Structure 1
Amino acid sequence: MQQRDSDRAINRSMLIKLVVVACLMFGFGFALIPMYRAICQITGVNNLVKRDATERDARNTQVDMTRTVSVEFDANARGLLGFKPEQSSLDVHPGAVMTVMYELSNHEGRTVKAQAIPSYAPKQATEYFHKIECFCFTQQTLKAGESRRMPVVFVIDPKLPKDVKTITLSYTFFEMNTPTAANTPPPAKTAGAGA
């Protein structure tokens, strides 16, 4: 009898410890979201679509006329979106505010919401390529058959390392409202099928 009471006390103590540990882990899971956001904001990691500079910041930069950086523009789209830059490359003096236009068109028979995600090559150029205005800051909504011209206003920081002569700015447009199987109509039956 005394052994039984001792086992119950040990089991109860273990249960209380497990419940406390589970509650702490659950709370830590919820705390990770704001912690992750704060760490990303401090380090600049995973900050793909933030405004890099304001026009006031760009106007105050010094243009380095002694060097030229070639900026190449690349565009990719998923689905039936047409997406391309109006020019494939541009020679830029670091510190000069530049604008390039992109064309986006919806070849789907429905309204499409899409988001552009930028990437840079070489990777070290990322911190020196500052976008002032960009369609990648917000989701784009295009009606069926709609086309749109969109600007990217940018400046390359004069502190860009001298060995970087070419920067590639690449955008990939991802559709945000891809239709699900439940929303797509079933294929039409052909005559004599299933007879």
Structure 2
Amino acid sequence: MIHKIWISLFALGIVFSLFNGTTSEVNAAILAGAQDAISLIIYLAGILIFWTGILQVASEAKMLLVLEKLFKPLITFLYPKLPKDHPALKYLTTNLVSNLLGLGSAATPTGLKAMQELQETNPNKQAPSFEMYTLLVLNTAGFTIIPTTIIGIRHLYHSNNPTEVLLPIMLASGMATIGGLIIHNVYSRMKKIHTSGVNTPKTYVRR
């Protein structure tokens, strides 16, 4: 649906420029926009490569084990039913750290790997588990302490103070995360109560 909206807006802009004789301005804007997009991609790729490399070095140096111990109370609070030796723990920790640093692209691979590991131990393969929903909420809300990507974009476009958004982003993402987790837990309990009240049909064995 969204691609249809973009195509419609693009077509309307071209038609409007033809009627107003501003096709040269439109062509210049298209070329400038394409150049800015490429510059932005290269700039953000550098930031992403740097922090992804840091995480990889941390992984090779066994620092993720330190992070697991550091974030263990938080992970245990967020995933109370998850066993202590679950293989998804290291991916959940890396995913959480990536989100805290505002590296959404770096958080995606570890999030997918964690989701895969959670599915392996999911008793009901046809429906997501409580832990899988929790992971989804955390990645959707994306609580961020240091929004490195946004700071990089603001620095690219010559902001006077690229880091002035730290507190607003921290508050907004924190409130979104807390709200999402509350709704998730309330809905899960309501669903559990609802399903527990359903009578299971009896199975009769023909003799």
Normalising by the residue count of structure 1, what TM-score does the alignment of the two structures yield?
0.28
More strand by proportion, 1 or 2?
1
More helix by proportion, 1 or 2?
2
Normalising by the residue count of structure 2, what TM-score does the alignment of the two structures yield?
0.27
Q: Which has the higher contact order (CA 8 A, sep 6+)?
A: 1
